[in-house]
Amino acid sequence: MRLRLFRNTVPEWVRNLANDDSNKPLLKQLARASKLPLETPREMNFTICDVATEVDATAICDQLTSGGWQCRIDPDAQTNKSFWVEAQKRQYVINERQLHEDETTFMRLAKQYNAVYDGWYAAAV
């Protein structure tokens, strides 16, 4: 029996994103690096940085964990004056709607706590 490798292509919805959409090159790179289709469940991480207090970071995590995210809080290694929140889902399905909704949530939380949305990264599978 021969194992046939799937040659992955960039999904149409990614190709149709506006050229100035900062996610477009990241999604294209992820799709090309993955052995399976982009929509295959994978580990996904979003990060909020420059959270002023651990209390604020905990409040952000509380809101995210109610949405199924696993969170970790780390002090900023360079300044020791702020905190990072990293949220992860292990079986995240990347699609246009979900990515937009989650980015909007993380941007809203960052703004609410005067922090900075630092973006997302995902595992190539």
pTM metric for this prediction: 0.88
In a domain, 5, yes or no: no
Separation of alpha carbons 27 and 39, rounded Å: 11
Q: How many domains does the chain have?
A: 1
* Higher-confidence position of 4 and 95: 95
pLDDT level of residue 8 (50, 70, 90 thresholds): low
In this predicted structure, the answer to whether residue 92 has a pLDDT above a threshold of 80 is yes
| CATH at 100 | 3.30.70.970
In this predicted structure, the answer to whether residue 1 has a pLDDT above a threshold of 60 is no
In a domain, 6, yes or no: no
Long-range interactions of 10-19: CB distance < 8 A, separation 24+: 10/38, 11/37, 11/38, 11/39, 13/95, 13/96, 14/38, 14/96, 17/96
